[in-house]
A and B are shown apart, each in its own frame.
Chain A
Amino acid sequence: MRINKTILTIGLPALLMFALLAFFRQSGNAVEAPKAPPAPVAVDSTKCIAQTEYMRANHMKVLYEWRNSSVREGNRVFIAQNGSRFQKSLKTCLGCHATNRLFCFNCHMYANVRPKCWNCHLSPMETP
């Protein structure tokens, strides 16, 4: 009797949980979800993708490379030297750097460089 009771007390709630899970299961498949595994890579905006000195001199090359490989080849993941992974997107940079609204402009104005990025992309000044 004692064993029966133990099985019952453990088994019943377990059964209940299964039944509940089945109940909460997502229903309806009217629209088919894309089959390819398009899991996004989390944008890690807490650290930089490379050394500040390197980025200061070569950010345009990095952006050029990112743009070509992500748009044209679909290679969207950048693996930094220390092994951390980033999504190749302007948003990855601006996720952090946009906190300083003048981040791009200060230098570009001083150097008299006028890149056309902000003709289409939202600049740090315009991001909400």
Chain B
Amino acid sequence: MNKERRDFIRKTGLGVLAGICASSGLLPKFSLEETVLPAWDEKPVPGKIRWGMLIDTRKCLNECSECVAKCHFVHNVPDFGNRKDEVKWIWKSSYEHVFPTSTQQFRTSDVLLRSYIAMCNHCADAPCTRACPTEATFKRWDGIVSMDYHRCIGCRFCMAACPYGSRSFNWRDPREGIKLASVDYPTREQGVVEKCNFCSDRLVRGLIPACAESCPQKAFTFGDLNDPKSDIRALLESNNTMQRKPELGTKPSVFYII
């Protein structure tokens, strides 16, 4: 091996090394190891974030219920196979059931035949939180209407107060109705009301809600309604959207593109 080749190999090696160092230093996003910032260090500031969801119903397929299956698996929602004991966090329904107070007359047949995703609206002015006598249901700092199952006494005032039917009562021990259990999330117990938690358990881990993630059509857009630069705000500004029963003044955080 002559001297020039050795020099060439040595310099190439140095060059590669320099390239790696420079790229990981200059572009921290591509650095070799992801750094975990100590977020959630302090108490979050109330009202700074307001999580919201936008559902593009034009993309939603009638025969698909991937979001429902994923959500109910992730959160150990029981299925007893009958309507009386039904527990649901997210479900699909017809136009007249999801938007009963919106106009039914002379809608296009496409709109009337489509199925629509319904879930807890995480209202800015949630009636369920006011009905709860133990403050088991409460408005979180980030706009999520959350439930502290430890406090729920099963009075079901919240179910009466919710105008969207987003709450279910556990008439039976839910563990009997779970075929495939997820170990990442607890179950509930008999005599407790439950509802969609906007995947607050997943948000902590830096994941988007399970329904949004599972949708093959990408019909869900999740984001911060208080952030004018977020995707959801951009879509809200460029599309005509609807909320469920807006006349009640609950200010839902779930929006629909019809």
Contact = CB atoms under 8 A, between A and B. Distances in A.
A40 B42 contact: no
B188 A35 contact: no
Nearest to A74: B44
A84 to B, nearest CB: 13
Interface string B65-83: 0000000000000000000
Contact of A21 (B30, B140, B204): B30
Contacts of B43: 73-75
B interface, how many residues as a size bin?
35 or more
Contact of A36 (B14, B207, B221, B224): B224
Interface stretch (A6-14, A50-58, A99-107): A6-14
Interface of A: 6, 9-18, 21, 24-25, 30-42, 67, 71-77, 85, 116, 119-122, 127-128
A14 B15 contact: yes
B19 A16 contact: yes
Given A17-B22, A35-B230, 10 more contacts: A10-B15, A14-B15, A34-B206, A35-B49, A35-B224, A38-B206, A39-B39, A71-B146, A73-B43, A120-B149
B186 A32 contact: no
A115 B16 CA distance: 60
A39 B208 contact: no
Interface stretch (B122-130, B212-220, B241-249): B212-220
A34 to B, nearest CB: 6
A16 B20 CA distance: 10
Contacts of A74: 40, 43-44, 140-142
